[in-house]
């Protein structure tokens, strides 16, 4: 990508990001205005749901394929699928020999009575 095209891309990206932020702010402002009328309860729950979704830890992964090839989209099932995948990998014990440094540490330890 040429330097000119790259700078043009960055400018367009920045403009698009600003436009999305403006649209989100306008929507939230409109929602807060609706909280003052008689049907406010419906909008309170909508606002709470939106805030809850924004606070979730899942920022990028919304769908995952599980072992049987089925696409999982429910956030709870996505976490369970990741857990089932990573748990055996992260808890697998690999055989290793005790090196010389281990025996040197044992030799340095004084197993007799200790004074403070």
Distance in angstroms (rounded) separating the CA atoms of residues 101 and 94: 19
Q: What is the per-residue pLDDT across 57-101, written as a single tens digit (0 to 9) for each?
A: 656 667 888 889 899 988 888 889 989 999 988 888 777 766 655
* Spatial CA neighbour of 82 closest among 92, 93, 72, 95: 72
Cα 20-25-27 angle, rounded to 5 deg: 95
If you search the block for the tokens 């696409």, which residue do you land on?
71
Distance in angstroms (rounded) separating the CA atoms of residues 47 and 50: 5
Q: Which residue has the higher pLDDT, 26 or 53?
A: 26
Mean pLDDT of the chain: 81
Q: Which residue has the higher pLDDT, 43 or 6?
A: 6
pTM: 0.38
pLDDT > 90 fraction of the chain, expressed in percent and rounded: 26
3-state DSSP assignment of residue 87: helix
């Amino acid at each position: 990508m040429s330097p000119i095209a790259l700078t043009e891309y960055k400018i367009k990206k920045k403009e698009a990001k600003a436009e999305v932020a403006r649209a989100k702010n306008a929507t939230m402002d409109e929602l807060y205005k609706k909280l003052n009328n008689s049907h406010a309860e419906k909008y309170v729950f909508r606002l709470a749901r939106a805030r809850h979704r924004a606070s979730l830890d899942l920022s990028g992964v919304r769908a995952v394929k599980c072992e049987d090839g089925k696409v999982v989209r429910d956030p709870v099932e996505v976490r369970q699928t990741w857990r089932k995948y990573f748990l055996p990998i992260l808890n697998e014990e690999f055989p290793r020999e005790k090196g010389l440094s281990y025996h040197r540490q044992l030799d340095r330890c004084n197993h007799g009575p200790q004074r403070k």
